Structure 1
């Protein structure tokens, strides 16, 4: 049983390491949607609001204009909403965060940004900074 316990202990550690440095293991199975978690950098825009009611207002505007029709939100239109609603300094630049690597953003933000396909918007989510909506505009390895 001692050997089995050691093996069991090692397996969860390996799984936990995948998110940080396990990209090499995942690259081999990159086909299809599996590639979402393997990129090294993401380019995104976001809208940050302190109050949930305000981010839900933004979400309603996105739904009315594009999302309810299964359309992609144009980057320029998302940028206009960011300039109007975002309480982040990036709002002045249309919410543009540019390219950022894994480990630069807080956990939930990083998870959403790296798990969203380019051209798609996230639903509202909360971090310690407030409520966000993210539009992913690019991915690269």
Structure 2
């Protein structure tokens, strides 16, 4: 196994029930969704992008169930976010302004054609959906935070939103 940047006794395992990677301590048998403290975030990002990224997001954004859409997103959290931690950082300390700067940089790279939202989400999103290229699957009205839902439903398939702010943080959404 290549270096995932985890502290001693920690490894990345795969949950079959959720089809997502998680963190497991072989000594204490503790398991968790967020990386343990002491994790090297940069090494973990590279490791997860290489070993735990999902197939390309290719849905047209139209739901099979009436009234549902499919979307992917890239989330940048900040210290005022509802849960200021993620799969790559046990404690997020960046300010809202710093998070805005980060997400605007991501948006510029996506809009320039340098990269795609899905490719960038794999290593940069603070949501566990990063493992699935940001894919949130199908959802209907009332299933997401209102600001997120309003922005997602306003997009046409293939479109990417501007920055959308919710209690979770700052998002770019692709339908």
The two structures share one fold, judged by TM-score above 0.5: yes
Within the alignment, does 1:43 sit opposite 2:70 as a pair? yes
1:53 corresponds to which residue? 101
1:96 corresponds to which residue? 135
Q: In the TM superposition, what are the counterparts of 1:43-122 in structure 2 within 5 Å?
A: 43-50=70-77, 51-65=99-113, 77-122=116-161
CA distance in 1, matches of 2:102, 2:122: 14
Structure 1 residues 43-97: Cα deviation after superposition (integer angstroms, max 9, x where no partner):
000000021111111111012217xxxxxx8xxx321111121000001110000
SS in 2 for 1:65: coil
Where relative contact order (Cα < 8 A, 6+ residues apart) is larger, the structure is 1
Runs of 5+ consecutive residues of structure 1 not aligned to the other structure: 1-38, 67-72, 137-141
1:32 corresponds to which residue? none
Within the alignment, does 1:134 sit opposite 2:161 as a pair? no
CA distance in 2, matches of 1:118, 1:84: 23
Question: What is the aligned-residue RMSD (CA, Å)?
Answer: 1.5
1:124 corresponds to which residue? 163
Runs of 5+ consecutive residues of structure 2 not aligned to the other structure: 1-65, 78-98
Higher Rg: 1
CA distance in 1, matches of 2:71, 2:170: 16
Structure 1 residues 93-137: Cα deviation after superposition (integer angstroms, max 9, x where no partner):
10000000110000000000111101100011111100000000x
Structure 1 residues 9-55: Cα deviation after superposition (integer angstroms, max 9, x where no partner):
xxxxxxxxxxxxxxxxxxxxxxxxxxxxxx61110000000211111
Runs of at least 4 residues off by over 4 Å? none
Q: In the TM superposition, what are the counterparts of 1:3-22 in structure 2 within 5 Å?
A: none
State the TM-score, normalizing by the size of structure 2.
0.48
Count of residues in correspondence between the two structures? 89
